[in-house]
Chains A and B, each alone.
Chain A
């Protein structure tokens, strides 16, 4: 059975390759036989067409169908207009998740830039740089679910007096007079604890990007500044930071998108209990527990609208940078 599957897979791949090859060949011939004045337009259509088609089928189509579903009732049978949006905004649970998502979008990018930059700048100055970076980068390779489980152990709570099994509370309670904190229940700490766990998995990534940006700054600038008597802080503040700005933007926008997409860490660590739901977990609950396609689609649409400006900004700044080079 497995061999037939293998044969089928190989055959399908070969067929795909043949089709692509044929298309390229025929496309090339078509373009070349056309009169010159039509050639550039035809070439664009022929070569971009398939990509546009694929994007339309796998991205734009589903997005439009989500948009359509968000205007229908739970089963997708009856048109209800903007009702799902008004319900979503009026619903306490969904409003909480909106609030939390805003908190995530603001906090995660800022923290990951601060932490990533600090690590990059400091690691840049030591001999065992690659070892440090390797260790700091390790959590990136851990899946979000595993990270959630790890952090649940780290944040474990036991009543005062009992042996603290959670790392954080074990540390906190060594301070005399301090009682353990229920990190994931306490409303002042729980969202930050979840963001912190995500930060742990992402800071290494931010560090690597920022570190690469730091490397691309010509060393002569540092030497010149040092000769002019700039202190290390001035060097950082007035040379490294401004030159790193485009990289920082890339990191921040990436993190903002990660924050908006946040799901697994929340699902594993609290599943939204104690007011920790974010938009993605709300959407999941609407879809799979409440089986309400309309409201789930409305949340997805809100999420999409929130991500779009960030993506546009990201693409724009990337383009500007590409042109600048």
Chain B
């Protein structure tokens, strides 16, 4: 069993939680919701666009299935997951989502509630790590959790607090629906502690095709930075915009990209040793990843409003300056979910025409084609009829299709076909993933909480004072040593 600080917890605020801050900022919805099982299926029509092609898990839905067909299939799958009867009752689900993201996630669960009569009581919190930890220690864990904090769940699994999904859902069912690497990522020892529910592709660079005149398939990172410098010198416009502010989780956008850079610059092997705490943060590879990020992020002439703006701008508004008139920047780095955030900020934008992305270029030819992903898993802490049914349902391709149909996340289910994505960004992202020579999970979801938080914060410190990098890294290494001991 791998050694890991026994008392760690990952504060449940990675991509998705943080993303929900953006929704809050734009003034939408509650952060905490319970969905009754009585919603008419038609009510989902206004939520999402229609889906043209349904997955053919049983090979019978070939024609031109509608959204209704998807929901119908999902209801059938849910009923089967519940053992064929309406068992009723309720299941408590602790998660990190809020606002529009939560609404979209709950859409996936509506057919489950309708078919089984089970009410899913979702409780969303941005302080997920602390709340889960106290509830587990207090003997009152939620039935099920939905979280990006894999490191914390691995810990709880090692402590015997999480139900092994190999038994609950079945190893066959898991391997039929998920790639071996996703199963492996959410496993500790021979126990599978989580099933992926959503996936984001990281390391993307967003731009406005109408005004961006740089390379969309740059040969290398250096080429892109060179273009940035030339552009800044020629136009006097800062090519990049960055937003690192995200409440308690501020700095994570920087940490995420540094994480991604490290993976693709030093290679997956080093990356894994790094997040497992086996190499010091003072290693030259880590330093180089920070410095690579710093090539644009710490350069006052390359980022919109300079460093102070990067530090104070909420990440959900990070790309707003791209659409001011005239544009104040051309490029913004963020994972797939940013497409949804930008288009909610500017509803008149047409995806693919006014907003597009390219995967960030190669940092090291040796590791060309490697991509980073992040996402959320479902874990069962309390085995009840209802929680088992929910876990089984979430492992079905039918539920996976609904995740993809939200237009917000990639579906982790390997049986879900690319046609499910009506959203052009997700469709492209799924192609990028398929072509990737390897996909690896971002390290900052897998580390112990103390280190994750220090890592996020180091993003702020480094951008503010790049000259202190050595000091920042040795500080992080002290946290690493302490976090992984015992």
Separation of A158 and B324 alpha carbons in the complex (Å): 13
Question: Is the beta-carbon distance between A157 and B308 smaller than 8 angstroms?
Answer: yes
Question: Is the beta-carbon distance between B312 and A184 smaller than 8 angstroms?
Answer: yes
Flag the segment in B5-13, B387-395, B411-419 that touches A.
B5-13
Is B396 in the interface zone, CB < 8 Å from A?
no
Give the residue of A156, A159, A273, A288 whose beta carbon is less than 8 angstroms from that of B306.
A159
Question: Is the beta-carbon distance between B460 and A288 smaller than 8 angstroms?
Answer: no
Tell me the nearest residue of chain A to B485, going by C-beta. A74
How many chain B residues touch the partner (CB < 8 A)?
A: 32
Is A3 in the interface zone, CB < 8 Å from B?
no
Flag the segment in B178-186, B191-199, B288-296, B449-457 that touches A.
B449-457
Is A75 in the interface zone, CB < 8 Å from B?
yes
CB neighbours (8 Å) of B171 from chain A are none
CB neighbours (8 Å) of A159 from chain B are 304-306, 308-309
Give the residue of A157, A182, A273 whose beta carbon is less than 8 angstroms from that of B457.
A273
Separation of A185 and B305 alpha carbons in the complex (Å): 14
Question: Is the beta-carbon distance between B304 and A182 smaller than 8 angstroms?
Answer: no
Is B203 in the interface zone, CB < 8 Å from A?
no
Tell me the nearest residue of chain A to B475, going by C-beta. A92
Separation of A290 and B9 alpha carbons in the complex (Å): 8
Give the residue of B311, B312, B324, B449 whose beta carbon is less than 8 angstroms from that of A291.
B449
Question: Is the beta-carbon distance between B308 and A182 smaller than 8 angstroms?
Answer: yes
CB neighbours (8 Å) of B304 from chain A are 159
How many chain A residues touch the partner (CB < 8 A)?
A: 21
Question: Is the beta-carbon distance between A291 and B308 smaller than 8 angstroms?
Answer: no
Is A268 in the interface zone, CB < 8 Å from B?
yes
CB neighbours (8 Å) of A85 from chain B are none
CB neighbours (8 Å) of B457 from chain A are 273
Is A151 in the interface zone, CB < 8 Å from B?
no
Q: Which of A75, A285, A290 has the most CB of B within 10 A?
A: A290
Interface residues of B in 242-259 (CB under 8 A from A): 247-248, 250-251
Is B467 in the interface zone, CB < 8 Å from A?
no
Separation of A290 and B484 alpha carbons in the complex (Å): 11
Question: Is the beta-carbon distance between A182 and B6 smaller than 8 angstroms?
Answer: no
Is B129 in the interface zone, CB < 8 Å from A?
yes
Q: Which of B248, B308, B324, B460 has the most CB of A within 10 A?
A: B308
Question: Is the beta-carbon distance between A157 and B250 smaller than 8 angstroms?
Answer: no
Separation of A182 and B9 alpha carbons in the complex (Å): 32
Question: Is the beta-carbon distance between A273 and B250 smaller than 8 angstroms?
Answer: yes
Is B482 in the interface zone, CB < 8 Å from A?
yes
CB neighbours (8 Å) of B311 from chain A are 182, 185
By a beta-carbon cutoff of 8 Å, the part of chain A in contact with chain B is 74-75, 156-160, 162, 182, 184-185, 267-268, 271, 273-274, 285, 288-291
Q: List 19 A-B contacts (CB under 8 A).
A: A157-B309, A158-B309, A159-B304, A159-B305, A159-B306, A159-B309, A162-B321, A184-B312, A185-B311, A273-B250, A273-B457, A274-B460, A288-B130, A289-B129, A289-B449, A289-B450, A291-B5, A291-B8, A291-B450
Closest 4 CB pairs of A and B: A159-B305, A291-B7, A288-B130, A157-B312
Given contacts A273-B460, A288-B129, A288-B133, 7 further A-B contacts (CB under 8 A): A75-B7, A159-B304, A159-B306, A182-B312, A185-B311, A185-B464, A291-B8
